[in-house]
Amino acid sequence: MKKNTILILAVMTALNLNAHEYSSARPDSHAPINVMGDHTHNAGEWMVSYRYSYMEMNGLMNGDSSVPSSAVHNDSTFSAGAGMRKAPTKMDMHMQMLGIMHAPTDEWTLMLMLMHHEKSMDSVNNADAVTSSESEGWGDVRFSGMRKFYETEDAKAHFTIGLSLPTGAIDEKNAAGTRTLGYPMQLGSGTFDLLPGVTYLKQAETWSWGAQAHGTIRLGDNDHDYTLGNRLDTHLWTQKPMNDHLSLGARLHSAVWGNVDGQDNTTNMRSMMPGGREDMQGGFVTCLGLGANYTLGNGHRLAFEFVKPLYQNYDGYQMERDWTLTLGWQYAW
């Protein structure tokens, strides 16, 4: 997959694109709505944004294969030679994100991201009884700085350095308040996380493309004696302006992340279900996103993107991603 991505970038870079003056007024001057920190601003400019995202997950996977919930109940490789009592069957995730960007200089653009999560998960036990768990609240706050380091008539690039603050809860409990929920149901990492990245944008007369890579590097253990796995995300997209206001686009997104280091010292879920096991949290996924940007004029922009996984591979039993829909609004002045 990494070789394929490098090959695609090399081919697209080698294309003979006609000289064109980069225009931030075009609808494709912003990346698809699920790409964060995709652009910078000129000195004195501001932008606010709002995103709503819904992800639906159904069924279980082990590695890159779909498996029934009975596989969890009957897997004798767990402790005491017995399977786990509960297997997740469905999970819904709602996320709202508020963003604020400001450029104090032509070189630097600052960005603040606030996120609110709503998560629900259905699980079935080995007696076929279904139970539900929920968590809701604010996630980790992210603050980043983006600096331009390359700019030509029709292309530009910037690097990003950011910090995620551990404001999201890591002690969400079941409805009875007796058990700390598993890692996927928590709202934050509990650690300070570095957020490095680099973004490249190219705009031709009749189309544009961009690429981004960004990481999440966890710094130390949280208050519950564990650390979520580090993460790397890559995005490659292309967009086609249909007129002065509308552009259509496609995006490839790949992400790889590690298992949990350590073990939550507040939970007794490890032997009960996969979400409580630190060795069943890592994975790799590649998705295709299709969407559109629409400029309303006076600085307003609307966007949407529908995302479907192309390939999923997980460490142990994890929920299978089905689809994601994101709607967004941006206003710049």
What is d(CA 319, CA 208) in angstroms, rounded to the nearest whole number? 35
CA distances from 70 to 49, 86, 132, 165, 283 (A): 43, 9, 18, 39, 21
323 forms beta bridges with 56
What is d(CA 47, CA 159) in angstroms, rounded to the nearest whole number? 19
The structure tokens listed for 202 are 């190219």
What is d(CA 81, CA 194) in angstroms, rounded to the nearest whole number? 40
What is d(CA 319, CA 12) in angstroms, rounded to the nearest whole number? 35
What is d(CA 257, CA 220) in angstroms, rounded to the nearest whole number? 16
pLDDT digits (tens, 9 = 90+) for 204-224: 999 999 999 999 999 999 999
What is d(CA 273, CA 126) in angstroms, rounded to the nearest whole number? 11
| Rounded (10°) CA dihedral 264, 270, 276, 279 | 90
Report pLDDT for 306. Answer: 98
Phi-psi region of 154 (alpha: psi -120 to 50; beta: other; left: phi over 0): alpha
Closest CA to 289 of 307, 303, 274, 271: 307
The pTM of this model reads: 0.91
**Would you call 77 exposed, middle or buried from its count of C-beta atoms within 10 A (0-12, 13-18, 19+)?**
exposed
CA distances from 77 to 81, 88, 127 (A): 6, 18, 20
pLDDT digits (tens, 9 = 90+) for 17-67: 455 688 888 999 999 999 999 999 999 999 999 999 999 999 999 999 999
- Identify the segments of the chain with pLDDT beneath 70: 1-20, 79-81
The CATH number of domain 2-332 is 3.40.50.10420: no
Please report the sign of the dihedral spanned by the C-alpha atoms of residue 37, residue 38, residue 44, residue 50: negative
The structure tokens listed for 270 are 């490890």
Closest CA to 114 of 99, 135, 95, 101: 99
Q: How many CB atoms lie within 10 A of CB 49?
A: 21
Backbone angles phi, psi at 177, to 5 degrees: 75, 20
